[in-house]
Amino acid sequence: MSVSWEPQSVSGKARRGRLSTPHGSVETPAFMPVGTRATVRSLDSGDLEGLGAQMMLANTYHLMLRPGAELIDGQGGLHRFAAWDRPMLTDSGGYQVFSLAPAVTEEGVAFKSTYDGDTVFLSPEDAVAVQEFLGADIAMQLDVLVGLPAERAQVEAAMERTLRWGERALAATTRTDQALFGIVQGGVDHELRSRSAAATAELGFAGFGIGGLSVGEGPADRNRAIAATVAELPADKVRYVMGLGDTEGVLQAVAGGCDLFDCVWPTRLARHGKVFTAHGDYSIKRAEFAGDDRPLEEGCDCVTCARYSRAYLRHLKSTGELSAQRLLSIHNLRYTMRLMESVRRAIEADRFEQFLTERTAGRLA
């Protein structure tokens, strides 16, 4: 198998492991920056390497439309195209299609392109074929996503269709150097989550995405859904919570036994002036920072904190300078990478619960 996960140590239910791929290994738990169009907005591949990013996520929906999966294949695949030689994962496009209110049938989904308005059809087999052209180390099956809250019957129908699409996706797979992950659905219903996870595990995917969350549910419901899912997944394969990136959410998911995360949150909020720190988040746009010569976060080792003051960064943001987006994004992503490094050390030392308590208290102080 092209991708495998090996456990290294545990602390409670939290797991420290190593995800092996054709383009190198990833120490887990890990966070993947989101490179929607094969780039993280305002950053390049060299920036991501310097920030300690081990793996990047790219967006199948956008890349299949612009510039096109076959063009990327002709350029040597996504790794060469983006000048990123570390592990990479592509999503199936399911989330973006969901946001466009598509027409969903058993065959697949039909939706309007956000680029030119043309009607595009995507089947589970098409999603596999597109991702095989892109050539990332890990591909995701096409799933059916339901916004929450929703009627149980709607959630169950989407979950059952996702299972059928998972079987079709596996049957369509041809590349031996790319792993296909299944996706567990079921909303926040404990019984549906358990049933979906058990059935998805039986299909024999190389790893598992926990989908259908961060779409309107609260933290308590999300954590219960994750717990019901993890209980039915094999212990020797990676568990990826899709679209989760806030500090508290990631830490709770790690405590529940999850390994891999992605979210646009660190960079999207940076573009709006939000700064992540271990002691809570704040907006650099606040007037009190106009003359503040401190770094964004004391003790942070990112290049932004090493060179620039809050006063200067507030000035850049207030005047609309593009460099503000870049410098704040660098800090927020480095904060996230440092968080995951600390998580891994805490699990190795078998003190993750203590770390979770201390970190949560520090951000609430």
Residues serving a catalytic function are 91, 262
Q: What is the identity of the amino acid at 248?
A: E
Angle between helical axes of 190-202 and 152-172 (0-180°, round to 10): 10
Distance CA 317, CA 220 (A): 35
Whether the CB-CB separation of 134 and 58 falls below 8 Å is answered with: yes
CA angle 326, 87, 125 (to 5 degrees): 110
Measure Cα distances from 60 to 23, 63, 118, 233 in Å: 19, 5, 17, 26
Number of H helices, E strands in the chain: 15, 16
Both tokens assigned to 282: 């704040």
Partner residues linked to 104 by β-bridges: 109
Burial class (CB within 10 angstroms; exposed 0-12, middle 13-18, buried 19+) of 132:
buried
Check: CB of residue 333 under 8 Å from CB of residue 49: no
Cα distance between residue 1 and residue 11, in whole Å = 28
Residue 205 contacts residue 170 (beta carbons within 8 Å): yes
Q: Which of the 8 DSSP states describes residue 288?
A: G
Side chain identity, residue 214: S
Grouping H, G, I as helix, E, B as strand and the rest as coil, residue 7 is strand
CB-neighbour burial class of residue 102 (10 A; exposed 0-12, middle 13-18, buried 19+):
buried
